[in-house]
Amino acid sequence: MPEQVPLPPNMSVRALVEHFKPPVSVGSYGTVHTDTTEFMSISYGDVIAVGGRHFLVLGDERERRFGMEDPKFWVKRCTELETGQYRILKLEFKETFDQHIGPLTITCHRSAAKEARILRLVTGDPRFMQGVTHKDTRGNLVRVLERVQGRRLDLNVEDLHADHRTYFFELFPDILEQYIKACRAILFLHQHGESHGDIRRDHLYVNHESGEYCWIDFDYGYDATENPFGLDLFGLGNILSFITGKGVHTIQDRTQADMAGPLITEFDCSLFFRHRIVNLRKLFPYVPEELNRVLMHYSANSDVYYETVPELLAELEPCLDILRRA
């Protein structure tokens, strides 16, 4: 980290940009913010001063899901003026909502303090996004995050130009191996009393160079006294179903030709998403029974669900050996 140079107080954004000369051009200059409470008012051309650093705001981060983009006004894309490096700043945003899993309703909340704890815990671990946390002048927790050098797992899988059979036998074993390592990363959190809280396929990235998987976004927590890691386990199951099927398969997507195959009922679908098929052996008969049995633990027809990552891995890891021998 470069040496901090004392700067005159109350410098304007223009003065800061002219002083540091970052490798970006700024069309208009805003104001310097040391208090990030009103994050909606912090926009392009502003500077956030926190932790002895100055971050030029380039815009709001956007979440891309289901073909749509939703702005995340509390997450800012920035350039750190002192270094010229790209950073993502997550500002403190309190949110509570209910998550429905089958007959269960779980109250979830967004916690900057939880994410700050996990960032400290996973410092230097490439299986997780990296960053540090600072307090602004009002005590808000600002997480300064490094860019993950990779691409979302789901986009990588969707862009593989191969039919499912070719994908399953030639490409999927390596993907499953990395997924198992990602499961062990989640186990590491659980062993330290932490949950990821928002396990989704767009929160798992593939490193461009190493090919290893990296988890992002740890700020969701939830109230589940019966099993504090339950939502994480369901999230892992959703990703496993996605990578096994090379995408999401729903009852609604089935064609007339598909109807000639095995009958698909609601019991073949996920407990979490009642329209998503998890009994993938009915769609792809070459999926080994052992792997399909793991997937069926996440179905609406299951009476037994995985409660811990070791339980999941105990049945999933032998499936990798089966696929390698196929």
Q: Given pLDDT bands bounded at 50, 70 and 90, which one contains residue 212?
A: very high
More confidently predicted of 97 and 116: 116
**Is the CA virtual torsion 234, 235, 240, 246 positive or negative?**
positive
Residue 58 has pLDDT above 70, yes or no: yes
150, 158 Cβ separation under 8 angstroms: no
Show the tokens assigned to 148: 């993950």
Classify 179 as helix, strand or coil. helix
Query: Looking at residue 4, what DSSP letter applies?
Result: P
Residue-wise pLDDT for 262-280, tens only, equals: 889 999 999 888 889 999 9
Specify the pLDDT at position 122. Answer: 98
Place of tokens 């002895």: 52
Residue-wise pLDDT for 99-135, tens only, equals: 776 667 778 899 999 999 999 999 999 999 999 999 9
Classify 299 as helix, strand or coil. strand
Domain check: are 60 and 180 in the same one? no
Q: What percent of the chain has pLDDT over 90?
A: 75
Specify the pLDDT at position 277. Answer: 96
Q: Mutual orientation of helices 230-245 and 172-191 as an angle, nearest 10°?
A: 170
Chain mean pLDDT for the chain:
91
Specify the pLDDT at position 290. Answer: 98
Specify the pLDDT at position 121. Answer: 98
Specify the pLDDT at position 311. Answer: 97
- pTM of this structure: 0.92
More confidently predicted of 223 and 87: 87
pLDDT, mean of residues 296-313: 93
Number of structural domains (the chain) is 2
153, 204 Cβ separation under 8 angstroms: yes
Q: What percent of the chain has pLDDT over 70?
A: 92
Residue 258 has pLDDT above 70, yes or no: no
Residue 319 has pLDDT above 70, yes or no: yes
- Rounded Cα gap, residues 211 and 178, in angstroms: 8
Residue 260 has pLDDT above 80, yes or no: no
* Residue 222 located in a structural domain: yes
Residue-wise pLDDT for 285-296, tens only, equals: 999 999 999 999
Cβ neighbours for 200, distance < 8 A, ≥ 6 positions apart: 235, 238, 239
Q: Which domain holds residue 7?
A: 1-91
Q: Given pLDDT bands bounded at 50, 70 and 90, which one contains residue 253?
A: confident
* Residue 105 located in a structural domain: no
pLDDT, mean of residues 27-36: 95
Domain check: are 73 and 169 in the same one? no
Domain boundary among 91, 117, 142: 91
Pick the range with the lowest mean pLDDT from 63-67, 95-99, 220-224.
63-67
Domain check: are 193 and 321 in the same one? yes
Q: Mutual orientation of helices 309-325 and 230-245 as an angle, nearest 10°?
A: 20
Residue-wise pLDDT for 154-176, tens only, equals: 999 999 999 999 999 999 999 99
Domain check: are 175 and 318 in the same one? yes
* Residue 142 located in a structural domain: no
What's the CATH number where 247 sits?
A: 1.10.510.10
Residue 224 has pLDDT above 70, yes or no: no
Residue 239 has pLDDT above 60, yes or no: yes
* Residue 242 located in a structural domain: yes
Domain check: are 42 and 172 in the same one? no
Cβ neighbours for 1, distance < 8 A, ≥ 6 positions apart: none
Burial grade of 285 (CB within 10 A; 0-12, 13-18, 19 or more): exposed
Domain check: are 69 and 177 in the same one? no
Show the tokens assigned to 170: 């030639």
Show the tokens assigned to 97: 């909502």
Pick the range with the lowest mean pLDDT from 254-258, 287-291, 293-297, 315-319.
254-258
141, 219 Cβ separation under 8 angstroms: no
Query: What is the number of helices (H) and of strands (E) in the chain?
Result: 8, 13
Specify the pLDDT at position 254. Answer: 75
Give the type of residue at 173: P
Domain check: are 160 and 305 in the same one? yes
Specify the pLDDT at position 1. Answer: 42
Domain check: are 178 and 265 in the same one? yes
Classify 88 as helix, strand or coil. strand
